[in-house]
Chains A and B, each alone.
Chain A
Amino acid sequence: MKYKSQSVAKLYFIAAIALFVGQILFGLVMGLQYVVGDFLFPEIPFNVARMVHTNLLIVWLLFGFMGSAYYLVPEEAERELVAPWLAKLMFWIFLIAGAATVAGYLLVPYAKLAELTMDDLLPTMGREFLEQPTITKLGIVVVALSFLFSIGITILKGRKTVVTLVLLIGLTGLAVFFLFAFYNPENLVLDKYYWWWVVHLWVEGVWELILGAILAFILIKTTGVDREVIEKWLYVIIAMTLITGLIGTGHHYYWIGTPDFWQWWGSIFSAMEPIPFFMMTIFAFNMVNRRRRNHPNKAAVLWALGTAVMAFLGAGVWGFLHTLSPVNYYTHGTQITAAHGHMAFYGAYVMIVLAMVSYAMPMMRGRKAANSPRSQVVEMWSFWLMTVSMVFITLFLTGAGILQTYLQRYSDQPIDFMTVQDKISLFYWLREIAGVVFLIGLVLYVVSFFIGTDDPEAVEKIEVDAETA
Chain B
Amino acid sequence: MSETFTKSMARNIFYGGSVFFFLLFLALTFASHQDFPSRDNHEALTETVAKGKRVWETHDCIGCHTLLGEGAYFAPELGNVYKRFGNSTEAIKAFIKSRPVDGVPGRRSMPQFNLSDEELEQVAQFLKYASGIKTANNWPPNIKG
CA distance A111 to B115 in the complex (A): 11
**A228: nearest chain-B partner, CB-CB:** B7
Within the complex, which residue of A187, A258, A414 is in contact with B142, where a contact is CB–CB below 8 Å?
A414
A421 CA to B57 CA, complexed, in Å? 25
Q: Which among A41-49, A142-150, A372-380, A448-456 touches the partner chain?
A: A41-49
Given contacts A47-B63, A111-B59, A186-B49, contact A239 B17 (CB under 8 A): yes
Give the residue name and chain of the A residue nearest to B137 (CB): A329
Name A239's contact: one of B18, B32, B61, B130 (CB within 8 Å): B18
In the bound complex, do residue A46 and residue B63 qualify as a contact, i.e. CB atoms below 8 Å apart? yes
Min Cβ gap A194→B in Å is 9
CB contact between B76 and one of A38, A50, A119, A417 (< 8 Å): that residue:
A417
Are B22 and A246 neighbours in the complex by a CB distance under 8 Å? yes
**Any chain A CB within 8 A of the CB of B60?**
yes
Closest Cβ of chain A to B26, distance in Å, is: 10
Q: Which residue of B5, B28, B50, B137 is within 8 Å of A261 (Cβ)?
A: B28
Instruction: Identify A111's interface contact among B49, B70, B113, B137, CB under 8 A.
Output: B113
Q: How far is the CA of A193 from the CA of B101 in the complex (A)?
A: 35
Take A128-B62, A242-B18, A414-B142 as given contacts and tell me if A37 and B133 are in contact as well, using a CB distance cutoff of 8 Å: no
Partner among B18, B49, B135 whose Cβ is within 8 Å of the Cβ of A257: B135
Chain B residues, Cβ within 8 Å of A111? 58-59, 113
Report whether B64 and A257 are in contact in the complex, using a CB–CB cutoff of 8 Å.
no
Task: Name the distance in Å between A181's Cβ and chain B's nearest Cβ.
Answer: 13
Chain B proximity of A415: nearest CB distance (Å): 7
Residue interface bits B31-42, CB-to-A below 8 A is 1, else 0: 110011001111
How would you classify the secondary structure of chain A's contact residues: helix, strand, loop or mixed? Answer: helix
Are B108 and A37 neighbours in the complex by a CB distance under 8 Å?
A: yes
Contact with A along B1-43 (1 / 0, CB 8 A): 1000111001101100110011011001101100110011110
* Cβ contacts under 8 Å, A329 to chain B: 137, 139, 141
Provide the residues of chain A in CB contact with B21, threshold 8 Å: 242-243, 246-247
* Chain B residue contacts of A153, Cβ below 8 A: none
Chain A residues near B58 (CB-CB < 8 A): 110-111, 114-115, 119, 125-126
Interface residue ranges of A103-125 to B (CB < 8 Å): 110-111, 114-115, 119-120, 123, 125
Give chain B nearest CB distance to A11 CB in angstroms: 31
Q: Is A429 an interface residue (CB 8 A)?
A: no
Residues B56 and A232 in contact, CB atoms below 8 Å apart = no
* Chain A contacts for B41, CB-based, 8 A: 257
Chain A 180-223 interface residues, beta-carbon cutoff 8 Å to B: 184, 186-190, 192-193
Q: B17 contacts A260, CB within 8 Å? A: no
Q: A409 at the A/B interface (Cβ < 8 Å)?
A: yes
User: Closest CB-CB distance, A366 to chain B, in whole Å?
Assistant: 36
Contacting pair B57 A125 (CB below 8 A): yes
Within the complex, the shortest CB–CB distance from A321 to chain B, in Å, comes to: 16
Q: Which residue of B lies closest to A191 (CB)?
A: B53
B144: which of A33, A239, A409 is its contact (CB, 8 Å)? A409
- CB <8 Å contact, A34 and B103: no
- Given A111-B59, A247-B21, is A186 in contact with B53 using a C-beta cutoff of 8 Å? yes
- Judging by beta carbons under 8 Å apart, are B70 and A256 in contact? yes
Contacts of A125 in B (CB 8 A): 57-58, 60
Kindly identify, within residues 366 to 425 of chain A, every residue whose CB is under 8 Å from any CB belonging to chain B: 408-410, 414-418, 421
Inter-subunit contact B57/A126 (CB<8 Å): yes
Most chain B C-beta atoms within 10 Å of own C-beta, residue among A33, A110, A335, A409:
A110
Is B10 a contact partner of A236 (Cβ separation < 8 A)? yes
A47 to B76, CA, bound (A): 13
* B1 and A233 within 8 A (CB): yes
> Could you list 14 further interchain pairs (A-B, Cβ under 8 angstroms) beyond the known A42-B102, A111-B113, A259-B136?
A38-B109, A41-B102, A162-B7, A187-B42, A188-B67, A189-B36, A189-B40, A189-B133, A232-B6, A247-B24, A256-B70, A256-B133, A333-B77, A334-B73
Interface residues of B (CB under 8 A from A): 1, 5-7, 10-11, 13-14, 17-18, 21-22, 24-25, 28-29, 31-32, 35-36, 39-42, 45, 49-50, 53-54, 56-64, 66-77, 101-109, 111-113, 129-130, 133-137, 139-145
**Which 7 pairs across A and B sit closest by C-beta, in order of nearness?**
A47-B63, A126-B57, A333-B69, A37-B108, A235-B10, A255-B139, A239-B14
